[in-house]
Structure 1
Amino acid sequence: MSWPGFRSWFGDASGTAARLRASIAVCGLVLATAGLIAGGANPANSALPPKPEQSYYMAVEAPGQGTVHLYAEEFGKGRPILLLHGLGASMFTWRNLIPELSRNNRVIAIDLKGFGKSEKPFTQAYTPYDHANVVLAFIRKRGLKHATIIGHSFGGAIGLLATLRLNETDPEAVRDLVLMNAPAYEQPGTAFVGFMKTPVVPYVALMLSPPEFSTWLSLDKVQADRLSFEELRGYAEPFYDAAARHALITTARRIKPRDVERLTARYPSVKQPTLVIWCENDRTVPLDTGLKLVKELPRARMKVLSDCGHVPQDERPEAVLQLIGKFLKN
């Protein structure tokens, strides 16, 4: 079975029985995983992340979480740009954007709590509010002012939530926003998130299957031929750690905010200029989500990219850079 074929089958799964059937497929395909992924690889893609000018761990205090150590890398000088990756990813996802963005800006990439090289506590504190409070604490401790927040998928939702909170206490912290394929409203639920909510099985499946396979599932609907095996391995590296697998599963299980209606009702209060970038063919967070969001953010504009699934920074990096560059200039 090809990767696209398996993805189609897995993506159509619904209900507990279907998720269990999917988990059996995960375990059953363990031995074939590396060869199947490699078969869809595009060797023309580079997987090398840029070298930072400085890298560090920062200890931040977040409500109900104590001290959390976040890993960060910085590039270039100028106005600050904070990069927030999506669920199941790390700052590795920004490797194609950082060199150009850092020419005239100070780019700060962080690994969210529980992901990449950041601390991965074995707790249940992985709700959107928990993640946003950690990001908010980082922004304050780093002393960022007039920053641009660029967030992809879950990172976009976290960036928007952090901005809502900062606008109440530090209105000069965030200058503008770039939100890419961000699940800003309650979603019907992807097969991946549904699978993660299955009791016990996700821990067993992720432990037995190669991290490259687990990463492929979390990236979900990214167009397979846009990622080489080396790039997939770059995404997968953190998931050799049991703590990272716990963070992924717990975040997915707790991904719905407890007061989603009250939260989304506050979107019109966001006065920052906002660029909303969406992939036309996104089946993970459908285009309708972006169309709704751009209507509720008073200073938002939207650009839709064709030939693109859910990860525009991997699938259409040149187009994304062009859109962001024009937005920042204006």
Structure 2
Amino acid sequence: MSRAIGLALAGMLLVGAPSLATPAAGLPAPDTPGRRVTLAPPGEAPVTLYYEEHGAGPPLLLLHGLGESTFTWHDILPALAAGHRVVALDLKGFGRSEKPDDGAYSADDQARLVARFILERDLSDLTLVGHSFGGTVALRTALAEGIAGTGRIRRIVAIGAPALPRATARRFDLVMAPLVADTVAAVLPSGPAVRFLLKEAMGGRTPSEEDVKGYAAPYEAQDATRAFLATARAIVSEKDSAAIAKRYKAIGQPVLLVWCRKDPIVPLRAGRELAAALPRARLAVLERCHHLPQHERPKELLKTLAPFLRK
């Protein structure tokens, strides 16, 4: 398989834009302002997660998408932290969090860990904000044991979230192909590959060097690739949309769904289907953006979030 074809394939697969580079510039030093916490949901092995806290006020918990990390919020985090206590979490397998080879990378697996994190940190009156896969995790967290029915989560924001089966573009199914792991490992180490993938996710817009370095910084080849592929396969292999939609009927919190009209990875039709499945959802559509509104249209995204966060 040629490098050009490999890059195109990898671009199709990514919800975010990971790299397999070793840690580099673009993110804060590991101990500033980040912290680590070891969590053990009932019956599961402990996992150590990395998180950051910024600002003061009503709490927001930010959950990134596939292939991303806490870095994905850097364009909007200062504005959010001006009026909120913002907690940004690296999900299991991503960023600076632990990446165990246990295969437990589905949205429900992640939601159990996020639920345990909320309980460990004693967060309440909480707004969950998730981008892409992180939006799916946010919704599942509201249903998780120890959280459902407790009132700890006040509201939820899901941005371009593949929260129902078959929500992603069909080409994303290529992640199930047996040669994908070798392809991804071959094409992702270089800076140009990261730049290419970000450009694909932003509809052709050239990413900044800060973004290229920031997305590359947390990743090391073996663990990051395995966790990424395990998560991607969990997304595309999830089935029984009717059963999952039925689960969502139990989410009583108000939910703001934010979608880019031109999202090539989780198309707008998926946002409309998700809005219909949630009892208290509103769908807001942003123009002139694709799958990364936090980079493409940060001011418009913040403007869309502001009235919902004040409720």
TM-score bin (small chain): 0.7 to 0.9
- Kindly report which structure 2 residues correspond to 1:141-160, keeping only aligned pairs within 5 A, or say none: 141-160=120-139
- 1:95 paired with 2:74, answer yes
Q: Residues 246 and 87 (structure 1 numbering): CA distance in 2 closer, same or farther, change over 3 Å?
A: same
- Kindly report which structure 2 residues correspond to 1:165-176, keeping only aligned pairs within 5 A, or say none: 165=144, 169-176=148-155
Q: Residues 277 and 50 (structure 1 numbering): CA distance in 2 closer, same or farther, change over 3 Å?
A: farther
- Kindly report which structure 2 residues correspond to 1:249-260, keeping only aligned pairs within 5 A, or say none: 249-255=229-235, 256-257=237-238, 260=241
- Match of residue 294 from structure 2: 313
User: What amino acid does structure 2 have at the position aligned with 1:318?
Assistant: K
Higher share in helix? 1
TM-score, structure 1 as length reference: 0.80
Bigger drift between 105-114 and 49-58 goes to: 49-58
- 1:205 paired with 2:200, answer no
Contact 2:168–2:267 (CA under 8 A) maintained in structure 1: no
Q: Residues 236 and 111 (structure 1 numbering): CA distance in 2 closer, same or farther, change over 3 Å?
A: same
Distance 1:219 1:135 in 2: 30
1:261: Cα distance to partner? 2.9
- 1:80 paired with 2:32, answer no
| Deviations 1:40-70 (CA, angstroms, capped at 9, x unpaired) | xxxxxxx966799742100001255410000
Contact 1:26–1:209 (CA under 8 A) maintained in structure 2: yes
TM-score, structure 2 as length reference: 0.84
- Match of residue 281 from structure 2: 300
| Deviations 1:169-193 (CA, angstroms, capped at 9, x unpaired) | 4522100011111112112654664
- Match of residue 217 from structure 2: 237
1:97: Cα distance to partner? 1.1
Bigger drift between 79-88 and 264-273 goes to: 264-273
* 227, 245, 252: which one aligns with 1:247: 227
Percent identity over the alignment? Answer: 37
Bigger drift between 184-193 and 79-88 goes to: 184-193
| Deviations 1:111-140 (CA, angstroms, capped at 9, x unpaired) | 110000000012211122111111111111
1:29: Cα distance to partner? 11
| Deviations 1:212-268 (CA, angstroms, capped at 9, x unpaired) | 426854885322315223312311223333101110011111224365432211222
Contact 2:115–2:146 (CA under 8 A) maintained in structure 1: no
Contact 2:64–2:134 (CA under 8 A) maintained in structure 1: yes
- Kindly report which structure 2 residues correspond to 1:33-182, keeping only aligned pairs within 5 A, or say none: 54-63=33-42, 65-165=44-144, 169-182=148-161
SS in 1 for 2:219: helix
Extract unaligned runs of 5+ from structure 1.
1-20, 31-46
Larger Rg: 1
User: What amino acid does structure 1 have at the position aligned with 2:53?
Assistant: E
- Match of residue 291 from structure 1: 272
How much is the aligned-residue C-alpha RMSD, in angstroms? Answer: 2.8
Q: Residues 48 and 246 (structure 1 numbering): CA distance in 2 closer, same or farther, change over 3 Å?
A: closer
1:87: Cα distance to partner? 0.6
User: What amino acid does structure 2 have at the position aligned with 1:162?
Assistant: T
